[in-house]
Chains A and B, each alone.
Chain A
Amino acid sequence: MTDFPKLTYEALTVGEEFVSDTHLVTPEDIEAYAFAVDDHQDLFTDPSAAGGQVAHPTLMANQALHLRHSKYIVHAGLHAKMEFNFIEPVRPGMRVRSRGRVIDKYEKRGRQYMVTEYVTEDERGTALVRGQFTQMLIPEGTRHAGR
């Protein structure tokens, strides 16, 4: 059984690790993603594409981005930076999961940030995507000055 404390800057520890559940990549996932980002290139949408159908390289990015939700209730946040290193294509039929580790947290101009490095792997542990991302925390009871 997992407890889910609220995510606060103070609760977050540099070095703490996250792991996602495993997700089976389906053709429907790719179809939905193609609609969402309006990218219907044949290599993603045609099962008979040369070399086999592949997923958009950023398909599983939300699995990584949501890693902190595996341990915390996240009140609200904004995504500040994202880095990808694409190693192997994600393909339908793969079972993938992401693992991450908090490598930094800092405050800048009154705002709080966390930095996570991550890897997304297939069921054999083969790395498909590596990278890191920076997220801003919006503390409970506060508003972000939207522009």
Chain B
Amino acid sequence: MPVADAVAVGQELPSLQKDLSQRRIDVYSGVRPRSIHTDEAWAHAKGFRTTLAQGMMSTAYASELMTRLLGKSFLAGGTLSMAFIRPVYAGDRLTVHGLIKETRREGARTRVVVEVWCENQHGEKTAAGTASGLTP
């Protein structure tokens, strides 16, 4: 069934789970001293209980929700806007959610607008925003 016919406002996308290991953070951010992402002593000095994942990692997760829905179409014509609400620490587990808020015709295709957000293992929202993309 074409994606445009398969999506409906109010539909929840399959959620993703992401384990934020220090090793993944290291690869994402690049290991260097005096970094709140990869230098635990520096993170403590800056007032954090341990190293933090880059907020940007959550945009990658939201992007994954969209490419799983729309495939490559998201890469040309897709949008994503997120605010980072609270720190994500090394060792946290995030659940990434998407909820279809709107569909609208855009030429011969349909733009799907999705509310996206991430929650940590305590159920606290860590990032939230909106993504959209065109159906193939």
> Measuring CB to CB, which residues of chain A are less than 8 angstroms from any residue of chain B?
32-33, 35-39, 41, 43, 51, 54, 56-58, 61-62, 65, 76, 78-90, 138, 143-147
Contacts and interface: CB of A to CB of B under 8 A. Distances in A.
A36 B28 contact: yes
B24 A35 contact: yes
Given A43-B72, A51-B72, A61 B78 contact: no
Contacts of A143: 45-47
Interface of B: 18-19, 24-25, 27-29, 34, 36, 42, 45-49, 52, 54-57, 59-61, 63-64, 67-68, 71-72, 74-84, 86-87
B24 A38 contact: yes
Contacts, number: 121
Contact of A76 (B36, B78, B86): B36
Contacts of B27: 32-33, 35-36
A82 B47 contact: no
Contacts of B75: 54, 57, 86, 88-90
Nearest to B127: A82
Contacts of B56: 58, 61-62, 65, 79, 82
A144 B98 CA distance: 30
B11 to A, nearest CB: 20
Contact of B64 (A39, A88, A147): A39
Nearest to A59: B60
Contacts of A147: 86-87
